[in-house]
Amino acid sequence: MTLPADDMVLVLKALHFAADKHRRQRRKDAAASPYINHPIALAEVLATIGGVRDAVTLSAAILHDTIEDTETTGQELEAVFGAEIRAIVEEVTDDTSQPPAVRKLRQIELARTSSPRARLVKLADKICNVRDLVEAPPAGWSLERRRRYVEWARAVIAEVCGCNSALELHFNALCERAMTHLVGSEPESER
């Protein structure tokens, strides 16, 4: 991928910022992989599968969990990256003061009215999360919980259809693979 120099600087600045903010965090998988791998994976999915070359979208993908999962504020993001990136990150940020069930419903509702860039970030996030459910699932998540996540992710992504056909096709195929894997992993007695 070739980006103009200013765009490359923006993406690298976002990587540095996110790496610093997430430096002590780990993913929920059994290996407790470094959290920064997740935002990097979003940007990679956007660029390689979705063909996204927009540095603002790629940077927002890298920064997408900074407000939700670190001490970063919207004001801080705006001061460093501008109002446009702040707005995208805020669009994909859950209100952690709400109970999980409310947050899940709100994601579906908010996806309907999200900006084109936020839709891309949301789609890449769900692609990475569903892929992780198969390849490196959160420790302690039952097969049923993982299936429920895939179904919920489908409901969220149904609200952003039309933003990038390559990403949507990839997401749908990934969900099918995940469900096949999850059903195939189920003991005979539970089928």
Name 14's Cβ contacts closer than 8 Å, sequence gap at least 6: 58, 59, 60, 62, 63, 81, 85
Average pLDDT, the chain: 94
The answer to whether 91 is a known catalytic residue is no
The answer to whether 69 is a known catalytic residue is yes
**Stated length of the chain:** 191
Residue ranges for the chain with pLDDT beneath 50 = 189-191
For the domain spanning 5-186, the CATH number is: 1.10.3210.10
* Among 7, 54, 69, 78, the one annotated catalytic: 69
* Among 7, 68, 78, 90, the one annotated catalytic: 68
Residue ranges of domains in the chain: 5-186
Per-residue pLDDT tens over the stretch 160-189: 999 999 999 999 999 999 999 888 765 554
Residue type, 110: L
